[in-house]
Chains A and B, each alone.
Chain A
Amino acid sequence: MAGISLHKLRKSFGALTVVHDVDLEIADKEFIILVGPSGCGKSTTLRMIAGLEEITSGELIIGDTIVNDVPSKDRDIAMVFQNYALYPHMTVYKNMAFGLKLRRAPRDLIDRKVHETAEILDIKHLLNRRPKALSGGQRQRVALGRAMVRSPAVFLLDEPLSNLDAKLRSTMRSELTKLHRRLDATFIYVTHDQVEAMTMADRIVVMKDGHIQQVDTPQALYDRPTNMFVAGFIGAPQMNFLPVTISKQNGVPVAEFDGNSLPLPTRLIDRVGVDYAGRDCVLGLRPENFHERPPIDVDPALTVPVEVDVELAEPMGAEVHLNAALRSRSIVARVSPRCQARAGDRLTLTADLSSAHLFDRETERAIGA
Chain B
Amino acid sequence: MSVIADTPTRPLPARAPISRRWRKVLNALTAYSFIAPNFIGFAVFTLGPIVFAFALAFMHWDGSNPIRFAGLDNFWKLFSDRVFHAAFWNTIIYTGFVVPLTLICSLALAVLLNQKIFGRNFFRTVAFFPYVASLVAVAVVWNMMFHPEFGPVNMVLYTLGVDPSDLPGWAADRHWAMATVIMFSVWKNMGYFMVIYLAGLQGISSELYEAADIDGASGGQKFRFVTLPQLAPTTFFVSVMLIIQSFKVFDQIFMITQGGPGTSTLVLVYHIYNEAFISWDLGYSSMVALVLFLLVLVITIVQFRWTQDRDEDTA
Chain A residues near B (Cβ < 8 Å): 50-52, 71-73, 77-79, 81, 83, 85-91, 98-99, 102-103, 130, 133, 146, 150
Whether the Cβ atoms of B314 and A89 lie closer than 8 Å is yes
B214 and A102 contact, CB distance less than 8 A: no
State how many angstroms separate the Cβ of B310 from the closest Cβ of chain A.
Answer: 11
Contact between B225 and A71 (Cβ–Cβ < 8 Å)?
Answer: no
CB of B72 closer than 8 Å to a CB of A? no
Binds A, one of B62-70, B100-108, B215-223: B215-223
**B214 and A73 within 8 A (CB):** yes
A283, B212: Cα distance in complex, Å: 50
Residue among A50, A73, A130 making CB contact with B216, cutoff 8 Å: A73
Given contacts A51-B213, A130-B314, contact A85 B207 (CB under 8 A): yes
Q: Which residue of chain A is the closest to B205 with respect to CB atoms?
A: A85
Query: What's the least CB distance linking A101 to chain B, in Å?
Result: 9
Residue B232 interfacial (CB < 8 Å) = yes
Within the complex, the shortest CB–CB distance from A232 to chain B, in Å, comes to: 32
- Chain B residues lying within 8 Å of A86, measured Cβ to Cβ, are 211
Distance between Cα atoms of A78 and B217 in the complex (Å): 13
Whether A72 contacts B213 by the Cβ 8 Å rule is yes
- Are B315 and A130 in contact, with the CB atoms below 8 A? yes
Report whether B207 and A87 are in contact in the complex, using a CB–CB cutoff of 8 Å. Answer: no
Chain A interface main SS type: loop
Among A71, A85, A146, find the residue whose CB has the most chain B CB atoms closer than 10 A.
A85
Q: Does B292 contact A (CB under 8 A)?
A: no
* Contact (Cβ within 8 A) B215 A98: yes
Shortest 8 CB-CB distances between A and B: which pairs? A73-B216, A85-B207, A99-B215, A89-B229, A85-B211, A102-B216, A72-B213, A72-B214
Distance A78 CA – B215 CA, assembled complex (angstroms): 7
Contact A50:B214 (CB < 8 A) given known A81-B207, A85-B205, A89-B314: yes
Contact, CB under 8 Å: A85 / B210: yes
State the Cβ distance, A24 to closest chain B Cβ, in Å: 21
Is B153 at the interface (CB under 8 A from chain A)? no
* Least Cβ–Cβ distance between B80 and chain A, in angstroms: 50
20 example contacts (A-B, Cβ-Cβ < 8 A) are as follows A50-B210, A52-B214, A71-B213, A73-B214, A79-B211, A81-B207, A83-B207, A85-B205, A86-B211, A87-B212, A89-B232, A98-B212, A99-B216, A102-B215, A102-B216, A103-B216, A130-B314, A133-B315, A146-B211, A146-B215
CA distance A89 to B228 in the complex (A): 10
